[in-house]
């Protein structure tokens, strides 16, 4: 949802639950990038999936904050937003812009697929098979790329909008 220029910058956008799950998922992903296998890698990975599932439940059924709700950005909305970015005149949004919302879904899907392929590689049927581990590693590379894009996008959008989006994800405003 776009914001109007007259809207104040102190409106609560991100609930405490959204902020906690965001930062906990970020920490889990970061830890698992460096802790590549073993009990803690699996535990943290499944915990990360649990946090994503809780966040989805919150967005679908619990939270009343506009930014916490989910929307499926249309291709035309994504295209329009990309044109705004290219022109250097990007609109402000309450919550994620269309491209950012799509990226959130992509990262959540990657986390779910990582949990699935990690679990699959440890089942009796696929124990010792290389392909589940190879797919898991490829998905991990994609997630790492998405994290880098996410961080770059936050910096870019902060500059274009004149707002500190990192601070917004800490304070909720």
Residue with tokens 């990038």: 33
SS3 assignment, position 115: helix
3 or 31, higher pLDDT = 31
Tell me if 147 sits within 8 A of 29, measured CB to CB: yes
Is 50 exceeded by the pLDDT of residue 6? no
Catalogue all structural domains in the chain, each as residue range(s) with its CATH number. 16-171 (1.20.950.20)
Q: How much is the average pLDDT of 142-164?
A: 92
Predicted local distance difference test score (pLDDT) of residue 115: 97
Predicted local distance difference test score (pLDDT) of residue 5: 44
Alpha carbon distance 100, 116 (integer Å): 24
Q: How much is the average pLDDT of 70-87?
A: 90
Q: CB within 8 A of 155, min separation 6: which ones?
A: none
Q: How much is the average pLDDT of 134-151?
A: 97
Is 50 exceeded by the pLDDT of residue 155? yes
Around Cβ 157, how many Cβ atoms within 10 Å?
Answer: 19
């Amino acid at each position: 949802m776009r914001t109007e220029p007259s809207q104040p910058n102190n409106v609560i956008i991100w609930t405490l639950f959204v902020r906690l799950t965001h930062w906990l998922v970020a920490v889990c992903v970061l830890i698992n990038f460096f802790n590549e296998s073993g009990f803690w890698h699996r535990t943290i990975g499944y915990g990360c999936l649990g946090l994503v599932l809780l966040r989805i439940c919150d967005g679908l059924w619990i939270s009343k904050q506009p930014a916490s709700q989910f929307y499926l950005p249309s291709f035309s909305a994504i295209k329009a937003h990309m044109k705004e970015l290219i022109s250097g005149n990007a609109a402000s949004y309450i919550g994620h812009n269309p491209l950012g919302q799509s990226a959130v879904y992509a990262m959540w899907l990657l986390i779910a697929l990582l949990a699935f392929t990690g679990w699959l590689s440890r089942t009796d049927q696929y124990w010792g098979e290389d392909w589940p581990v190879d797919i898991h590693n490829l998905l991990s590379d994609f997630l790492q790329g998405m994290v880098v894009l996410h961080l770059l996008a936050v910096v870019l959008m902060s500059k274009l909008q004149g707002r500190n989006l990192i601070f917004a994800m800490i304070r909720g405003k």
